[in-house]
Amino acid sequence: MANQSMRTNEIVHEIESMIRIYKDGSVERLIGCEVVPPSIDPQTGVQSKDVIISPENAISARLYIPKAQPDPSTHKSKLPLLIYFHGGAFCIETAFSPTYHNYINSLVSAANIVAISVDYRRAPEHPLPTAFEDSWEAVKWAVSAEDEWVKNFADLERVFFAGDSAGANIAYRMGIRVGLEGLSSSGAKLVGNILVHPFFGGEEPIGSETENPYSETFEKMWRIACPTVTSLDDPMINPSMDPNIEKMGCERVLVCVAEKDWLKDRGWYFYEELKRSNWKGKVEIVETAGEVHVFHLHNPTSDNALAFIKLFVSFFNEAVKANM
């Protein structure tokens, strides 16, 4: 007990109920630490497995295929591929947590898709841009079709990105990276990108941010994620300052915001900025009334969460149809 007391006095950074960072560099995560193994989900029949993408950099992922699997000998029967990036302010949660595992199971079942949920390295041990670089490595691995599930069941001409909170920030950056560098030389194509309650910010408050009690906490989160950046107008956190915003490498983007989310106005601002840019694609925004940040993960069986799943399925279907 004495050692614990001494260590508690050496906390140098803390976000209440989320994370503690100690003077000796050790980290204590207070939420998002539980993990569950891959499985055959008893409710949906969705099957999952874990893969190592980079042993050197500890990048891994969980892959999902629906119960009704296509015939791998017939290209036309292959399914869209979703590459998903989990949230957690770049410093908590994993692709293997029960929250994300259960959510991806539900999404894969409803949308009849193949999914790859990326487990990138987290801050503060690995500050940004590590999460971006890890995620890009995972994207390149996915479209290389080295894995048998991807090779047999995924249609790489129908690739989607999606993420929530910090994961939506990553999904945005991956979309820009596709626009700048291309997805692959094998004909893989990014069809759409879904940004759910994106973790964006900026130096100047906008909308309700002027009275936002969470603004100080947001800045703390960002300083933990990327301590070397001196301004909240860095393009990594403020895409309106990104000179490459018009390079989004797909034709459709869906932005989701929630009425009671303290990041809502940033989502709307991003939507307007992307529309104003020279990007030639179609961007939509949907605001869920009465809900908070990532409500669909906290209460996945609620009416609004189930409607959220239907929204994504509709986006997938419409984006695929538009690219046929």
pLDDT surpasses 80 at 73: no
**Active-site position among 106, 109, 135, 165:** 165
Which residues 6+ apart lie within 8 Å of 140 measured at CB? 184
Q: Which has the minimum average pLDDT: 3-7, 115-119, 200-204?
A: 3-7
Q: Let me know if 240 is a catalytic residue.
A: no
The CA distance from 229 to 77, in Å, is 46
Per-residue pLDDT at 3: 46
Q: Let me know if 293 is a catalytic residue.
A: yes
| Closest to 84 measured CA to CA, from 56, 30, 36, 48 | 48
Residues 162-198: pLDDT tens digits? 999 999 999 999 999 999 999 977 789 999 999 999 9
pLDDT surpasses 70 at 9: no
Residues 28-49: pLDDT tens digits? 999 999 999 999 999 999 999 9
Question: DSSP letters along 59-88, please?
Answer: EEEEEEE-SS---TT-GGG-EEEEEEE--S
Q: Report helix, strand or coil for 302.
A: coil
Band (209; pLDDT cuts 50, 70, 90)? confident
The residue written with tokens 């149809």 in the block is 321
Q: Which has the minimum average pLDDT: 179-183, 229-233, 277-281, 294-298?
A: 229-233
Per-residue pLDDT at 232: 92
**Active-site position among 86, 126, 197, 293:** 293
Q: How far is CA 206 from CA 7, 35, 196, 230, in A?
A: 39, 37, 19, 19
Question: DSSP letters along 248-265, please?
Answer: -SSSEEEEEEETT-TTHH
> Average pLDDT over the chain, rounded to whole?
93
Q: Record the pTM.
A: 0.95
Q: Let me know if 106 is a catalytic residue.
A: no
Band (125; pLDDT cuts 50, 70, 90)? very high
**Active-site position among 41, 261, 277, 296:** 261
The four Cα atoms 181, 184, 185, 187 give a dihedral, to 10 degrees, of: -120
Q: Which amino acid is at 64?
A: Y
The CA-based diameter of the chain, rounded to the nearest angstrom, is 66
Residues 249-280: pLDDT tens digits? 999 999 999 999 999 999 999 999 999 999 99
Q: How far is CA 209 from the centre of its chain?
A: 23
pLDDT surpasses 60 at 5: no
The residue written with tokens 């801050």 in the block is 123
Band (144; pLDDT cuts 50, 70, 90)? very high
Quick one: average pLDDT of 212-225? 85
Q: Which domains does the chain have, with CATH numbers?
A: 1-30 (no CATH), 39-322 (3.40.50.1820)
pLDDT surpasses 80 at 212: no
